[in-house]
Amino acid sequence: MGEKKGVCLVIGAGDDTGAAIARAFARDGLTTCLVRRDRHADELEALAQSIRDEGYDARAFPADARDEDVMVALFDKIEAEVGPIEVAVFNIGANVMFKATETTARVYRKVWEMACFAGFLMGREAAIRMQERGRGTIIFTGATASVRGGKMFSAFSSAKHALRAFAQSLAREMGPQNIHVAHTIIDGAIDSNFIRDNVPNVDDLREKDGILNPDHIAQNYVMLHHQPRTAWTHELDLRPWTEKW
């Protein structure tokens, strides 16, 4: 059997940013392993097939990233059957809007599980395996809510703040072991299906480069993976040139 390729694992491989990240790392030579909830299994396999149609390697793994047993088994399966995980990207959004006074405990807990707890599980499992090899890159996708609690985003911003804190702690533990941990702040609207369906002037924004392009976000993730360790970036802000901040 030939040597296994390195793997880029994308947790939250959705239709837009997650898909762009998966394609970018596949084009960079890694096998992309794509994770999304079971109810999106068909879309996930379609994404994997589209990457394979380009001549690259991609595998679909429908799974609930909030389930500890499922995540441990997923990492074991990929490492055993596909290859060593060189890059792990956490890209689950969980962006919801509720007034704090109308946010139920169930909603708050679910958002935390999706946007924070699942990130902890991914980061922990990736770090366990990467530290054995003494290399690897772990990237967490953050948002404006990672640094600012906006009106009606109490659940989302709480989870994203916590994810950012976890990324900082993990970076301080793993950096001396030659594992690069990075957190990105995606500050602005992304040219995604949701934005295209809900923002009436999206075409004008795109024409003026006033909206984040998923492919350009993905290019920055690949850049983070290839950074020399003499100048690692831990936190990277990405926003359109027109964004107020």
pLDDT (tens, 9 = 90+) of the chain, 245 residues, equals 345 679 999 999 998 999 999 999 999 999 999 999 988 999 999 999 999 999 999 999 999 999 999 999 999 999 999 999 999 999 998 888 899 999 999 999 999 999 999 999 999 999 999 999 999 999 999 999 999 999 999 999 999 999 999 999 999 999 999 999 999 999 998 988 778 877 888 889 999 999 999 999 999 999 999 999 999 999 999 999 999 88
DSSP code at position 208: T
Helix (H) or strand (E) holding 33, with range, is strand 31-36
Provide CB contacts within 8 A for 46, sequence distance 6+.
none
DSSP code at position 6: P
Beta bridge partners of 152: none
DSSP code at position 170: H
pLDDT at 221: 98
Q: How far is CA 77 from CA 33, 66, 73, 174, in A?
A: 11, 17, 6, 23
pLDDT at 244: 86
CA 154 to chain centre: 21
Superfamily of domain 7-238: NAD(P)-binding Rossmann-like Domain (3.40.50.720)
Contact 58, 102 (CB under 8 A): no
Helix (H) or strand (E) holding 140, with range, is strand 136-143
Provide CB contacts within 8 A for 101, sequence distance 6+.
none
pLDDT at 4: 63
- For the chain, the structural domain boundaries read 7-238
Task: Return the SS3 of 58.
Answer: strand
Residue 73 structure tokens: 């088994």
